[in-house]
Amino acid sequence: MSTYTASLLADVGILTLGALSVYVILATGQLSLGNAGFMAIGAYLASYLTVVAGVPLTSALVIAALCSGIIGVMIGFPALRLKGIFLAMATLGFGEMIRSLFLNLEITGGAGGFHGMAHVSVTYVWIWVGLILVLVWLMESSRAWLEMRAVADDETAANLIGLNTTMTKIGAFGMSAAVAAVSGGLFAHHHVYIEPGNFGFERSIDFVLAVILGGSTIGAGSLVGAALLVLLPEQLRALDDWRPAAFGALLIIVLLIRRQGILDRSLLRRFTFRKQAA
């Protein structure tokens, strides 16, 4: 595998995790535009742990995920009072807040960025991606996941039939933040250099875009969306200056044809039914 291909594949994996982090929150009907913030927390914390404290990478990623998860839960509480577009704006604000925090934080290099991480292979990245994809896939057939969907469908009714919707929403925020942190940690150790600009608003938008494009009702949609988002622009290189425009047009076409994204639950059901029938 050439380094070019390897680097693209690693980017697909990292974006898949970012997209999954948005997907988990979206499953409860909440849109987060600030997940790059959690990614930044994961990236900086994991890097600091490996470079300065000498913690092995895998442990550093787990610690970063846990810490970011706790912060996610803390963000989840004020977010409970907000819905829809207002929540989206608040999370956007959170993301920018984290970015400027690292811009001014001297111990992680401030605007100059942070480096010194040991490079990890694309295989290591994909072990994490595979692990988290499987976890999400398992959770999708659990009752906890149904509770999340119930909150998305009708929060009031969910509460009145006995579901603790507060815990569900906060839990989703925590999970989302943990996954985003792993994405950040892997990003940092694959690119071996990070700066606050890596974790801006555009990054959060990429996550959301990958979910919407790939399909926001099943986890595998994040994988498909991330692959398209990373690989498609590469395929369009021949178009030169027109590349972003062509990419934008393709996005619009996909969303016009399949508003629910490329993969969705009924598509999956059709496949599983066919399997049972055979």
Partner 1 sequence: MSAPLLQLSDVTKSFGGIKALSGLSCEVRQGQIVGVIGPNGAGKTTLFNVITGAYRANSGDVNFDRQPITHWRPYRIARAGAVRTFQNIRLFSSMTVWEHLLVAQPGRGALWRRALPTRWADGAAIARAEEVLEFFGLKDVRNQIARSLSYGTQRKVEMARALTANPRLLLLDEPVAGMNHDEAEDIRRLMLRLRDGGLTILLIEHDMGFVMNLCDYLYVLDFGVLIAKGLPAEIQSDPIVMDAYLGKEA
CA angle 222, 35, 179 (to 5 degrees): 60
Minimum CB–partner distance for residue 156 and partner 1 (Å) = 7
Pull the structure tokens for residue 51: 């470079």
Interacting residue with partner 1 among 11, 96, 147, 206 (CB under 8 A): 147
Closest CA to 199 of 47, 38, 50: 38
Q: Which of residues 154-173 bind partner 1 (CB under 8 A)?
A: 154, 156-165
Q: State yes or no: residue 176 binds partner 1 (CB under 8 A).
A: no
Nearest distance in Å: CB 103, partner 1 = 37
What is d(CA 196, CA 102) in angstroms, rounded to the nearest whole number?
Answer: 6
Number of other CB atoms surrounding residue 154 within 10 Å: 12
Interaction of residue 70 with partner 1, rule CB under 8 A? no
Query: Which CB, 3 or 272, lies closer to partner 1?
Result: 272
Residues 190-229 that bind partner 1 (CB under 8 A): 217
Inter-residue contact 185 to 42 (CB < 8 Å): yes
**Cα distance between residue 62 and residue 64, in whole Å:** 5
Helix, strand or coil, per DSSP, at residue 193: strand
Stretch that binds partner 1, among 1-9, 102-110, 136-144, 221-229 (CB under 8 A): 136-144
Taking CB under 8 A as the rule, does residue 265 contact partner 1?
yes
Q: How many residues bind partner 1 (CB under 8 A)?
A: 25
Please identify, using beta-carbon distances, which residue of 204 and 217 lies nearer to partner 1: 217
Q: What is the dihedral of CA 237, 247, 204, 104, to 10 degrees?
A: 50
Query: Shortest gap between Cβ of 152 and partner 1 (angstroms)?
Result: 7
Q: How far is the CB of 209 from partner 1 (least distance, A)?
A: 22
State the chain's maximal CA–CA distance in angstroms.
62
Q: CA angle, corner 44, sides to 43 and 47, nearest 5?
A: 85
- How far apart are CB 145 and partner 1 at their closest, in Å? 8
Judged by beta carbon, residue 47 or residue 216, the one nearer partner 1 is 216
Residues at the interface with partner 1 (CB under 8 A): 138-139, 141-144, 146-147, 149-150, 152-154, 156-165, 217, 265
